[in-house]
Amino acid sequence: MSDGPARAEISFADFEKVDIRVGTVLTAEPFPEARKPAIKLRIDFGSDIGEKKSSAQITVHYQPEDLVGRQVMAVVNFPPRQIGPFMSEVLVLGFLDDDKAVVLANIDHKVRNGAKLM
């Protein structure tokens, strides 16, 4: 029985290079200019990182008004990426469901904005 495609191994030092932090969504609005349906987010990652923007393809399971105040996880140390007229500064994390729609990674207890994944 196969466990799926072979996965590349990385060292713990490699994993530590990925800076995953918690932030609270301050604003969320539709992003009709994106090639794939998306929502523009402005997220507060606390005083050390500040506010960052992200374009997230999460329109199947989420409405913009339901995201404000929600804590999300994001990779904060990727270089910014231009998506149409919008500069996305962080990568919000989620998983694909059976229909290939993104489900946000969940935080089940409130933590301080900017807290790092350990």
Cut 0.85: pTM above it:
yes
Task: Print pLDDT tens along the chain (118 aa).
Answer: 555 677 889 999 999 999 999 999 999 999 999 999 999 999 999 999 999 999 999 999 999 999 999 999 999 999 999 999 999 999 999 999 999 999 999 999 999 999 999 8
Residues 6 or more apart in contact with residue 86 via CB below 8 angstroms: 31, 33, 34, 40, 53, 55
- Structural domains in the chain, sorted by start: 15-104 (2.40.50.140)
| Burial (0-12, 13-18, 19+ Cβ within 10 Å), 42 | middle
Beta-bridged to residue 60, according to DSSP, are none
* Buried b / exposed e along 24-38 (16+ C-beta atoms within 10 A): bbeebeebeebeeeb
Q: Write down how long the chain is.
A: 118
The token duo for 25 is 């969504």
pLDDT of residue 3: 59
Find the DSSP H helices in the chain. Answer: 12-16, 46-49, 64-67
> SS3 for 50?
coil
pLDDT of residue 2: 54
Euclidean distance between CA atoms 113 and 6, whole angstroms? 35
Shortest CA distance to 103 belongs to which of 111, 94, 112?
94
pLDDT of residue 4: 64
